[in-house]
């Protein structure tokens, strides 16, 4: 398969306005939150990011959210969550039927236009009401693939076996990714799965329970601000130096599952390869996907990968990608990172990928 058609030397997108993540909040991620509706789960997180910046909902210039009706089992389910952001009188608002990382991308473009100086981005997902493995089959090609109901673990397992056949990984290497992630997650009070977690039995071979993300409910929110507004709202803003997202062919049989050229291209466009990063928050719900991404993004052993525990520690579908951006930004806010890469994915076997480069001012 030849690489996707691109210009010989992709140019790095330079933004016309400096935009930063100035606040990040997330719920504790739990297997089930039956006692709460989506908006009830989301509101404390919204209030947390507003409180940390001192902003009120009426101060926010643009609001964008990510969620999925298929998780909720209800049409237009995101409109219920809008009650939590004070949508009356009317606000400037948008929604993506995707992970909140893509809502953040939309908010970033909105701020670039100068139409707004601040943006609230949030996303949430409750996997507990349904069977997320089956629900995710509905995003597949409806003619040739979805009628076979291949679940999300099965497709990831095909990718893992391709990786093993290529000599890029073996089962102990996959278990090592799981152990490191859950070990790091011990320091993350929001994580659903942390500490020493057994690899367990095969779910779909070669993936064992330990190679798969926990299924759970959760929400996250960030606030973006432009220029001096960001400096007013946050002591050390996490400046978005570049952000890009790319997609590959939907047909799995057309792709090289051991590589992620769309991640690499997005990273290149976001400027990730201009200077080394010290931190990478990768949205890799399966252990095998971290190995694919490390290679595609050329991350060396000196880069701290998923110090939060990553999606193997908590994977609230539709929020897990936004959380990667938030966790990377929070490390910059705390002074633990100067230059971080954040990645989000969507679709089977890393079909769609978003990469952002965040920096703190020294």
- Report CA torsion sign: 74, 98, 348, 7: positive
Least separation, in Å, of the C-beta of 276 and other proteins? 31
Least separation, in Å, of the C-beta of 154 and other proteins? 5
| Residue numbers at the binding site for other proteins (CB under 8 A) | 1-2, 4-5, 31-32, 34-40, 43, 46-47, 57, 70, 73, 80, 82-89, 128-131, 133-135, 138, 142-151, 154-155, 157-162, 165, 202, 204-207, 249, 251-254, 257
- The vertex-281 CA angle with 233 and 358, nearest 5°, equals 40
For other proteins, give the closer residue by CB, 142 or 335. 142
Least separation, in Å, of the C-beta of 70 and other proteins? 7
For other proteins, give the closer residue by CB, 266 or 349. 349
- Contact predicate 329/358, CB 8 Å: yes
Least separation, in Å, of the C-beta of 220 and other proteins? 17
ω into 56 cis (within 30 of 0): no
SS (H, E, C) 303-358: CEECCCCHHHCCCCCCCHHHHHHHHHHHHHHCCCCCEEEEEEEECCCCCEEEEEEE
For other proteins, give the closer residue by CB, 72 or 342. 72
For other proteins, give the closer residue by CB, 58 or 362. 58
For other proteins, give the closer residue by CB, 70 or 239. 70
Q: Which among 187, 123, 182, 193 is positioned nearest to 330, based on CA atoms?
A: 187
Q: What is the widest separation between alpha-carbon atoms in the chain?
A: 58
């Amino acid at each position: 398969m030849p690489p996707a058609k691109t210009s010989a030397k992709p140019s790095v997108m330079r933004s016309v306005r400096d935009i930063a993540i100035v606040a990040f909040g997330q719920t504790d991620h739990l297997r089930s939150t039956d006692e709460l509706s989506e908006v009830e789960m989301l509101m404390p997180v919204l209030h947390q990011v507003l409180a940390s910046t001192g902003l009120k909902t009426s101060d926010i210039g643009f609001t964008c959210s990510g969620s999925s009706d298929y998780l909720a089992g209800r049409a237009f389910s995101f409109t219920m969550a809008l009650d939590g952001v004070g949508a009356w009188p009317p606000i400037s608002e948008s929604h993506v039927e995707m992970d909140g990382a893509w809502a953040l991308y939309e908010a970033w473009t909105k701020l670039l236009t100068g139409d707004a100086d601040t943006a609230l981005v949030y996303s949430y997902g409750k996997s507990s009401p349904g069977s997320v493995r089956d629900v995710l089959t509905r995003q597949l090609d409806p003619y040739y693939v979805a009628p076979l109901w291949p679940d999300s673990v099965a497709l990831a397992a095909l990718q893992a076996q391709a990786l093993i056949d290529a000599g890029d990984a073996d089962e102990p290497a996959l278990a090592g990714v799981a152990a490191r992630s859950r070990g790091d997650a011990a320091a993350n009070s929001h994580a659903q799965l942390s500490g020493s977690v057994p690899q367990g039995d095969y779910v779909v071979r070669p993936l064992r329970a330990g190679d798969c993300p926990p299924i759970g409910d959760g929400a996250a929110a960030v606030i973006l601000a432009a220029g001096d507004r960001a400096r007013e709202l946050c002591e050390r803003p996490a400046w978005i130096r570049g952000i890009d997202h790319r997609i590959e062919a939907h047909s799995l049989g057309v792709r090289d599952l051991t590589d992620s050229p769309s991640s690499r291209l997005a990273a290149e466009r976001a400027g990730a390869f201009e200077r080394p990063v010290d931190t990478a928050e990768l949205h890799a719900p399966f252990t095998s996907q971290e190995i694919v991404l490390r290679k595609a993004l050329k991350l060396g052993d000196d880069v701290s990968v998923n110090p939060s525990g990553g999606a193997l520690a908590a994977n609230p579908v539709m929020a897990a990608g936004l959380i990667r951006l938030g966790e990377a930004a929070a490390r910059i806010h705390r002074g633990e990172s100067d230059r971080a890469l954040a990645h989000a994915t969507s679709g089977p076997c890393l079909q769609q990928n978003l990469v952002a480069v965040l920096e703190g001012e020294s």
